[in-house]
């Protein structure tokens, strides 16, 4: 994480900077960050697979009649279904437009940091006749967990590295604010699996833009190490599915640690 570069303990500096150098407090930071709060939703899960078209972690994915189970480019094995998310349900839950269809993320756990090679993310339009698959072909498949509900987090805050984009609108020293946020758990983006909110970047933000319109992608779903699935992205990393706020089918999977 970024260090604290404040020259603390040197009281003479306070005079030099005058009133602008007013010390930050939790209540002041809460007030400063209010415009940037986002709601997020934590999935509530039941152990066991559900219907083939439901939202779930692991388990049997919805596959249209002519689909085949995606294989890993690296080891050629069938990949784990990490997440299947009904975007209509996600839209309803988050009261935001997440698009429609079934989002599916497949992933094969390798040490490789190139998430493109051992993952497959797609948006599927379910047809009328899904394949009937009794047993997962994935070696050592993770236990299936059906998403049965969502718990609201009312105020998720941006990672300190994302605050700099709001520098012109924030009336305090942005580096002081970032340092305060970094050392105060309340103001850090929540870890764990969640829908929407702000991504808990392990280092700094690495935001990609939409291939179609160039708009910055936003967090659709965060998938964390050792949360609903017993997998780890690098060493305690976090993964995300990002989405264009305009083009809901422009989706991107990445992880970092």
- Binding residues (CB under 5 A) for Zn ion: these are 72, 74-75, 108, 210, 212-213, 215, 244, 246-247
Q: How near is the Cβ of 231 to Zn ion at its closest, in Å?
A: 13
State in angstroms the smallest separation of the CB of 117 from Zn ion.
8
Pick 183 or 208: Cβ nearer Zn ion: 208
Q: How far is the CB of 241 from Zn ion (least distance, A)?
A: 15
Tokens 């179609």 belong to which residue?
Answer: 212
Q: Which is nearer to Zn ion, 44 or 246 (CB)?
A: 246
Question: Facing residues of 209 across strands?
Answer: 216
Helix (H, G, I), strand (E, B), or coil: what is residue 230? Answer: coil
Residue nearer to Zn ion on the CB measure, 49 or 73? 73
Q: Quote the least distance from Cβ 116 to Zn ion, whole Å.
A: 13
DSSP per residue, 111-178: S-S-TTTTEEEEEE---S-----SS--STTPPPPEEEEEEEEEEEE---HHHHGGGGGG--S-HHHHH
Strands 238-243 and 218-224: antiparallel
| Nearest residue (CB) to Zn ion, 163 versus 242 | 242
| Angle at 120 (CA atoms; ends 115, 121), nearest 5 degrees | 105
CA dihedral 176, 181, 182, 184 (to 10 degrees): 120
CB 174 to Zn ion: min, Å? 28
Kindly state the smallest distance separating residue 30's Cβ from Zn ion, in Å: 32
Q: Closer CB to Zn ion, residue 85 or residue 108?
A: 108
For residues 106 and 124, the answer to whether their CB atoms sit within 8 Å is no
Give the nearer residue to Zn ion in terms of CB position, either 30 or 247: 247
With beta carbons less than 8 A apart as the criterion, state whether 102 and 56 touch: no
């Amino acid at each position: 994480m970024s260090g604290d570069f404040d020259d603390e303990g040197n009281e003479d500096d306070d005079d030099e900077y005058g009133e602008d150098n007013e010390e930050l407090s939790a209540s002041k930071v809460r007030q400063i960050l209010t415009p940037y709060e986002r709601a997020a939703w934590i999935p509530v899960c039941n152990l066991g697979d559900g219907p083939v078209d439901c939202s779930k972690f692991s388990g049997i994915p919805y596959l249209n009649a002519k689909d085949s189970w995606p294989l890993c480019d690296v080891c050629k094995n069938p990949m784990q279904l990490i997440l299947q998310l009904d975007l209509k349900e996600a839209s309803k839950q988050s009261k935001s437009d997440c698009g429609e269809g079934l989002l599916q993320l497949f992933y094969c756990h390798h040490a490789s940091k190139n998430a493109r090679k051992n993952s497959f993310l797609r948006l599927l339009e379910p047809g009328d006749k899904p394949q009937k698959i009794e047993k997962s072909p994935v070696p050592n498949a993770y236990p299936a967990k059906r998403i049965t509900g969502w718990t609201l987090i009312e105020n998720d805050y941006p990672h300190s590295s994302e605050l700099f984009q709001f520098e012109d609108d924030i009336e305090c020293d942005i580096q002081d604010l970032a340092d305060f946020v970094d050392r105060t758990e309340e103001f850090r983006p929540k870890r764990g699996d969640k829908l929407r909110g702000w991504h808990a970047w392990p280092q700094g933000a690495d935001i990609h833009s939409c291939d179609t319109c160039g708009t910055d992608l936003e967090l659709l779903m965060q998938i964390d190490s050792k949360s609903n699935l017993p997998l780890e992205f690098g060493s305690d990393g976090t993964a995300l599915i990002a989405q264009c706020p305009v083009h809901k089918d422009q989706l991107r999977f990445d992880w970092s640690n």
